[in-house]
Structure 1
Amino acid sequence: MHDPPRILAVDDTPENLEILRLRLEANGYQVMTAADGEEGLVKVREFKPDLILLDIMMPKLDGISVVRTLKQDASLRSIPVILVTAKADTRDVIEGLDAGGDDYLTKPFEHRALVARVRSMLRQKALHDTVESQALRLEDQAAQLAAWNRSLEQTVAEQVTEIERMGRLRRFLPAQVADLIVAAGDGDTLLQSHRREVTVVFCDLRGFTAFAETTEPEEVMTVLSEYHSCLGELIIRYGGTLERFVGDGLLVVFNDPLPCADHTEKAVSMATGMRDAIDEHLEQWRKRGYLLGFGIGIARGHATIGQIGFGQRSDYAVIGTIPNHAARLCEQAKSRQILVSQRVFGAVEPLVEAATVGELSERLPSPDAGLRNCPVAWLTSAAPYEVELKG
């Protein structure tokens, strides 16, 4: 609706147009006029009036034809039309209403009747405009909601893909490495080879090879599952990175990829926790007839770290003498022993009590009964010690 409302009067009699103009303008309306049907259609399309007063009998194009044309145009059909006729013949009125007219007046018309009809039609036009505006707003909101839904669906799909990717990475890579790859978005850069000082823990089961050769596969896998679940919780708790499984062996690295200032202390604390946690499983396994033990080796130093493999499969790996040294110490350890390198002992010396074990060899001499239960051993070629954490 325009303000003030805009009315178009179409009549081929100038006197009638002047009367309509004066009466309507006196009531605050803006009035435009047209002298025939063709001119009326031009002005309707140009000015988009809020109401049309349309004479039926006109040259060139009669009022009924004008109404039909208006109602066929989607942009104009909502404009109300009051038909004005000089005839009392109801057939003209019926034909005009059937063509799409909204109301009618018979000339000569009374002033108050004219104004009342105009106000009634304008109220309907205002209501129609309100409904149409609300419908357009709802349509826009529906389109916006649909766009939001599409965006949300895309976001959810991306998140699901990311979660699935994270799940796959966590199955084949250490959790810390998988987390960093997803966060950084560039695993190749993250896994480029680098040198760093690390503490490496290697542990495995004593007697596992003989056990696996003489036991049913299902029982072997059950023991491995219990064993890995037990140690896995401790690796996560102490912030270690599980670098690899080697059958019953596990290699855990500290200080990569996440830096850790006290990595050696955490490694020794984790190893002690592993030994104590596995003790319960060892007892249960003995009751099932499985004679197994558990040993740990720990070494500290600089290692080469990064990605190894080929296009279809790659791994995160710690390479060099340090993981080898940890594996060798683990190999030499007796059940419940934790053998550590000299650099590891130097880093944790204030935290442990030490006892001599013996020189590193192909096989260490069996410790006496007291040393057999001691959890931590410092193993070097000159002055090896077995140590107990203080407190």
Structure 2
Amino acid sequence: MLIRRLASLPLFVLLAGAGARAQLAPSPDAPPVSHAPAQPEDDQSVATFKIQSTLVDLFFTVKDHSGQLVPHLNKDNCTVEEDKQPQKWRNFAAENDLPLTLGILLDTSGSQQYVLPLEEQAGAQFLDQVLRKKDEAFLLSFDVDVDLLQDFTNNAHQLARAMNKAQINTAGGGGTGIPGLGGGTVPTIGQTKGTLLYDAIYLAANEKMTQETGRKAMIILTDGDDQGSRTKIQESIAAAQRSNAIIYVILIADTGFYGGFNMGYSGYSAAKKLSEETGGRLINVGNNAKKLSEAFQQIQDELRTQYVGTYTPTNAKMDGSFRHVAVSCGEGTHVQVRKGYFAPNAGEPEKRPGQ
């Protein structure tokens, strides 16, 4: 398919949808939906609720002290607080078969030259294993541009073909230079570009994830460094939180690339912030192929061993504020859940946070 060049236009043009150039457009495919029959309120699936009042959906995993996933919990085992105020579960269930929407974001900047083949091989294997009949995934690459390599599809082989066509892009500097450090001319609109990580997350959340329902996750393969995004890191996190998309960051880097330029590797802290605040996780694999495969397996296990809890917040104000959320499932356990959500604004169409 035609690769869609995104970052060559200002963000407001990309998001407005009125320009003549191609962009991250809504998927032509129907979004994943649940066809489960209606059940009593205490047991019914979160995907069958009707939007009549503000409900908050939380997708999360629970692990024990050794890092093993904890199955078979119920609403009596876990508590939820919003802004430190106890809330009451309206719904709680272990869900391993709700439709899954995935976004694969692939760093194709110059620093990834020698690890890109590892990413392509392991990523293709992961997609082949994880995608089920009702699931969908799309593929983005980001460097000095943000490109939609494959729109939503359930076809793992189609995604793998698109991934294998990904190429390192340093804006004319080849695959061995850093833009701005002898890596070639950098196309600029207001500021220098290099690796548009935060722009890619922002666009993926707003243009692809927001329209979907059910479980949503972005898997980002990157060294964590951003160079030149118009979007700030907190703005990209907020976009992911608004779309209820979990972010997993697989930190993969050719460390020799950085040492050769006497540059400090600074991607870890940003990657950790992106993942933890959205309920995901950072997995550091270096440039080790075995660790990369294991990282994908861990993500697959977590996505297939999730709980979904729903509650009606006691704070009914529709003021657009950020509400902090905490879930606890007993001593000795660790809950992996997003840090909060944005309440709807008065006058906006009623919509559940997380849909």
Say whether the fold is shared (TM-score over 0.5): no
More contact order relative to length (CA 8 Å, sep ≥ 6): 2
* CA radius of gyration, larger in: 1
TM-score by length of 1: 0.27
Q: Which structure has greater helix proportion?
A: 1
TM-score by length of 2: 0.30
